[in-house]
Structure 1
Amino acid sequence: MEQLSSRYDTLISDTLFSSDPQQSGLSQMESHDIMQQLAASIDLHKLTSVFYAQLKRYLNVDSVTIKFPTGLLSMGDNSQANNIKTLEQVANHTILATLVYGFSNPLSPRETTVLNQLHKHFKFPLKNALEHHNVKQLALKDHLTSLGNRANYQETLQRLISQARRSHEAFGLLVIDMDNFKTINDTFGHHEGDNVLTAMADALRQSVRDTDYVFRFGGDEFCCLLPGSDAATNSKIAQRIRRFMQDMPILARHRVSCSIGSTQFVEQDSEQDLFNRADKALYLAKQSGRSCFKAA
């Protein structure tokens, strides 16, 4: 694979605007239009989609991946991308993000110039979107466990339902309640209770796949959204949760267990239908005793 690694700050080389027709890039009118398009949204996902559309408008690009300190976002399909261009976005001597562009074929000198210009135009919109994204993520995070909070759950659920209805691919939901957690708070105090909740969050994070989502609803209630999961996968992840809980010293010391209700999304489900079904399964699990799993 061909690898090009470069940094861009407030200045850019004059060679991008070369008079050589073989290397001349975007016209001023095209650049102005692109910058207007990129100014239309501050949402990171929407902005990346707009930028990818502009890339495809001017280049035969297969994919773009944005790697930033708190995450990663990809557009397109890089399975056929044999030519990789890696460019960093830098502001005030700090790397904002690394962009990895995937192409099936090598770029001509002119295409390289156009890519550099597009990358430059993306800098300040991306900077603003990343700042907005980071503030938004803080508002969607549970401050004790660093898991997603209930608002984050709601936002993620709406997105997964929309995707599932387009792709006809189901996803799973686990609703989790710790057994007899109140006893720990009453006996050892809320500081110890907080330590138990933090350990529980760690056990959940280790139990799920990279593509899954974990949330704290509040108190000792948690849930997991599992894209592409079926009943068997839901059950397997529930077993992993119990196993990882046993490996957590503080959870083992207090003999902490949990009850889990499970279900899968079907196309006629509303958000409330899906949750109510998993919550009913959780109720049956709690009625069956400690450390139980029920599916609906």
Structure 2
Amino acid sequence: MDFSTTIYDSTVHDNYYAATDSGSLISATQLNAFMNQLLSTIDLATLGSVYFHQLHQHLNIANVSLSDYDSRLVYGKLTDTNAVHVELSLPMCQREADGLTKYVYYAFDKEPGPQARAKLAHFHQFFSQQLNHALEFRRLKQIATKDTLTGLGNRNGFNDSFSRLICRAHRHEQSFGLLVIDLDNFKQINDTRGHREGDSVLVNVATQIAQSLRGEDEAFRFGGDEFCCLLDCQTTTQLEAAASRLQSQIRSSTFLRRFNVTVSLGGAIFREQDDVNALFDRADSALYKAKESGKNTYQAA
């Protein structure tokens, strides 16, 4: 579709509205400012926010939604379902790998006129190009921060998340917890049943760990049979409860019981002076004590 000449209205199917010459509607200064703002970030969530605020300077727009990519990416005020509003859906320039077209959704409190529609089409054309760059950046970042076998975060992902949490801790004086997890007798599984079965065990353990976590918690695989979790815990009591929940989840797996798989865990709560190494070393030392005490148990630093 040529975005400079047509715009799709999702409220009237198969209906396209011709746009007037957008060059007469947007000055070179306005367009340069708009482009400079879009080019200031390649982070998907930030880009959506920047785009909405730029649109809001030129159009009477209620919200912008990127829900085809992530349901959380909605910017502006939530539209009252009982109120009369106009929704426009503009397709992305680039189709997905599955051949489907994704859309950006725009909501207005009242019917936008031809000039407003022309401006929106013009702005959307530039935004869709930058959005494609942000999506590719997100894809590459996910590759760089995800463990390919289990789908959990890897060491790079752990470092990114830790940096974010330590900033939050310093800003809001809100602590967090770390669990370091090791499978008991995993080497025996690889030696007697082979690495394919060993990989199946690792994938199942990762699934059990992820299912035991709450929304704010994150799980990672460091390699081999080493896992860890960053948890929204402020006290050792909360951390122990999380460890108990995880061990219970592991025990509930029929698949893992076939292999007699258990886990040993060490935990630590973030302290103000901690960096990533200090916190991890404390939790790792606690894990070592758990292994030495007979395995299949939890120790706190």
Counterpart contact for 1:260–1:282, Cα < 8 Å: yes
1:125 Cα deviation (Å)?
0.1
- Distance 1:42-1:190 versus aligned 2 partners, 3 A rule: same
Deviation at 1:164, TM superposition (A): 2.5
> What RMSD, in angstroms, separates the aligned Cα atoms of the two structures?
3.3
Residues 196 and 228 of structure 1: CA distance in aligned 2, closer, same or farther (over 3 Å)? same
TM-score by length of 2: 0.77
CA shift in 2, pair 1:55/1:163, >3 Å? farther
User: Alpha-carbon deviations, 1:159-210, whole Å to 9, x = none?
Assistant: 2212322232222211111111111112212121111111111111111123
Query: Which residue pairs with 1:202 in the alignment?
Result: 207
CA contact (8 A) 1:242 1:258 kept: yes
1:38-187 to 2 correspondences below 5 Å: 38-55=38-55, 57-58=57-58, 66-67=66-67, 71=70, 74=73, 82=80, 87=89, 89-94=91-96, 99=104, 106-107=109-110, 109=112, 113=117, 118-187=123-192
Cα distance between partner residues in 2 of 1:116 and 1:64: 14
Residue in 1 that maps onto 2:32: 32
- For the residue of structure 2 that corresponds to 1:67, the secondary structure is coil
Partner of 1:6: none
* Cα distance in 1 for residues equivalent to 2:62 and 2:298: 43
Overall identity of the aligned pairs, in %: 38
Greater share of residues in strand = 1
- In structure 2, the CA distance between the partners of 1:295 and 1:228, relative to structure 1 (3 Å rule), is closer
> How many pairs does the alignment contain?
280
Q: How many angstroms apart in 1 are the aligned matches of 2:173 and 2:18?
A: 49
Q: Does the CA contact (< 8 Å) of 1:88 and 1:96 recur in 2?
A: no
Aligned CA distance change for structure 1 residues 66 and 232 (closer, same or farther; 3 Å)? farther
TM-score scaled by length of structure 1: 0.78
Letter in 2 for 1:38: L
SS at match of 1:109: coil
Structure 2 CA distance for partners of 1:52 and 1:225, relative to 1, 3 Å: farther
Q: 1:101 to 1:294 in 2, by over 3 A?
A: farther
Secondary structure of residue in 2 paired with 1:91: coil
Report which of the two structures shows the higher radius of gyration computed on alpha carbons.
2
Distance in 2, Cα, partners of 1:240 & 1:102: 43
Unaligned runs of 5+ in 1: 1-8
Displacement after TM superposition at 1:15 (Å): 5.1
Partner of 1:295: 300
Gaps of 5+ in 2: 8-16
